[in-house]
Structure 1
Amino acid sequence: MRRLRLVLLIASLGATQAQAGIFDDEEARRQLTDFRIKTEARFDQQAKAQLELSAQIQRQADEIARLRGLLETLGYKQEVGDKRTQDFYLDLDSRLRKFETPVAAAPTPDSTNTPAAAIKGDPAKESQDYEGALNQFKAAKYKEAAAAFAAFVQKYPDSSLAPNAQYWLGNAWYAQRDCKRAIEAQSIVTTKYPDSAKASDAWLAIATCQQELGNPTGVKRSLETVIAKYPNTPAAESAQQRLKKK
């Protein structure tokens, strides 16, 4: 009887250990399954975040490309607008010159011996020199135009064309991207010839150079000067529009 009990006890212990082994395997599988599910969820979340980041980067790249295209378009329009304005003023200047050019006096027998002082006072010669400098500018020969206009204002300081020549001298320097000399030239127009037709445009040209040189205070002061000194003029209207954009 004791032997039978012993056998039954051993069998019972073996069954218990076997059952415990089964439970341990199931727990291990459950933990592995949970770990796999959590790992896959983490990978899915990371993949989703990477996709969102990639999409965000692409959107930013597209926006940068759009803005770059917009800047290029605005730059081109500004360049075209500046060119049209310049052509307009050149054409207007040439048209006005036709009305202002006096009739040349008939040459005298001793005209070949005319003193240099007399040549300086010859309106026809003044007109010829001015037109020559202006034609250099029209041909985009800005270096030559600057030299020609500088020579003109030095040779004919009291000429009625001196303010115009000084103004185009400033534009010739600006066309060469020399804003410092351009401002110096235009400042002579505003101080020496403040009542000339080019004075208000000279102030606008100064403001443009100041903007390129990174001087917003100077730009504002120059534009306000145009409005104050030359109200009801196209230059004043342009200055007001430029101030509104700031």
Structure 2
Amino acid sequence: MSSNKVMRKLALVLLMSAATQVVAAPVSAANLDSLERMLEAQGQVQLQMQRRLEQMSSDIDELRGNVERNSYDIKKIVERQREIYREVDNLSRQPEKAAPAEEKKEPASTEAYSSNVSENAAYEKAVNLILKDKDYKGATKAFQSFLTTYPDSVYKPNASYWLGQLFFAQNQLADAATNFKVVADTKDSSKRADALLKLGVIAERSNDVATAKTYYQEVVKSYPNSTSAQQAKTALAKLK
């Protein structure tokens, strides 16, 4: 064997021996400290990430709850608004069944007509906002404006009645009562029977049973054959 080949084999043996010693050598304390710090740092990062994820999850749950509550509230508001519109619409369609001679149907009219063309037009416009356009908010404003502009109008009892109906349907009972009382104080109004009935209902809802009975009894006494009287009798029977 040549001397070159011997030298190469010797070099390979030395390299393999050195490599074996490096692999087999124990890890130093410094390396352990460094590795421990790295693991600890990684643990802190993972802990922070976990906390952020938990916070995000909590925030998402809270947002989801808010969205669900808001959706429920909006749904109830929409349903209530639809009920209001249906109630006002039904009320406007109900015929007046009168026992006494003074009770009449209202073809957007009242017991008398005004000689003031503008006054007639303003009243007709307000009524049509209910009966034709179903614009109840617009009708409320129109009737309020009408009564402000024409406080002594021959249409005042009927305008007050319509306002009472609109407020009643929206559960604004105090405003409804104020307008129904105007009608109740007008003895020859074709709307008086229903206005008295509504005043009884409002008093009953306000837990004023004595006043409710008084209004119901007045309806039965003054308008015995009317639809309002039948409803008043039913209400009185429930209060006993």
* TM-score (ref. length: structure 1): 0.50
Q: Compute the displacement of 1:96 (Å).
A: 5.8
Aligned with 1:208 (options 196, 201, 207): 201
Q: Compute the displacement of 1:177 (Å).
A: 1.6
Aligned length: 149
Partner of 1:194: 187
**d(CA) in 2 for partners of 1:81 and 1:148?**
19
The question of whether the paired residues in 1 share the 8 Å contact of 2:108 and 2:127 is answered with: no
Structure 2 CA distance for partners of 1:142 and 1:239, relative to 1, 3 Å: same
The answer to whether residue 224 in structure 2 is matched with residue 224 in structure 1 is: no
Higher RCO, 1 vs 2 (CA within 8 Å, ≥6 residues apart): 2
The code of the aligned residue for 2:229 comes to: A
> What is the RMSD computed on CA atoms of the aligned residues?
3.4
Give CA-to-partner distance per residue, 1:3-59, whole Å, 9 cap, x none: xxxxxxxxxxxxxxxxxxxxxxxxxxxxxxxxxxxxxxxxxxxxxxxxxxxxxxxxx
Q: Compute the displacement of 1:223 (Å).
A: 0.4
Aligned with 2:90 (options 72, 80, 84): 84
Partner of 1:136: 129
The code of the aligned residue for 1:190 comes to: A
**d(CA) in 2 for partners of 1:143 and 1:83?**
13
More helix by share: 1
**d(CA) in 2 for partners of 1:83 and 1:245?**
27
Partner of 1:175: 169
Partner of 1:8: none
List 4+ stretches of structure 1 deviating above 6 A: 79-82, 99-102
The code of the aligned residue for 1:237 comes to: Q
**d(CA) in 2 for partners of 1:231 and 1:134?**
28
**d(CA) in 2 for partners of 1:96 and 1:134?**
6
* TM-score (ref. length: structure 2): 0.51
Q: Compute the displacement of 1:231 (Å).
A: 3.3
Structure 2 CA distance for partners of 1:214 and 1:142, relative to 1, 3 Å: farther
Percent identity over paired residues: 29
The question of whether the paired residues in 2 share the 8 Å contact of 1:143 and 1:176 is answered with: no
The answer to whether residue 101 in structure 2 is matched with residue 95 in structure 1 is: no
Structure 2 CA distance for partners of 1:160 and 1:230, relative to 1, 3 Å: same
Aligned with 1:238 (options 215, 231, 235): 231
Q: Compute the displacement of 1:89 (Å).
A: 4.4
**d(CA) in 1 for partners of 2:136 and 2:86?**
18
Structure 2 matches for 1:1-246, cutoff 5 A? 83-89=89-95, 95=107, 97=109, 121-122=115-116, 124-138=117-131, 139-191=133-185, 193-246=186-239
Unaligned runs of 5+ in 1: 1-78, 103-119
Unaligned runs of 5+ in 2: 1-84, 97-103
Q: Compute the displacement of 1:229 (Å).
A: 3.0
Q: Compute the displacement of 1:204 (Å).
A: 1.0
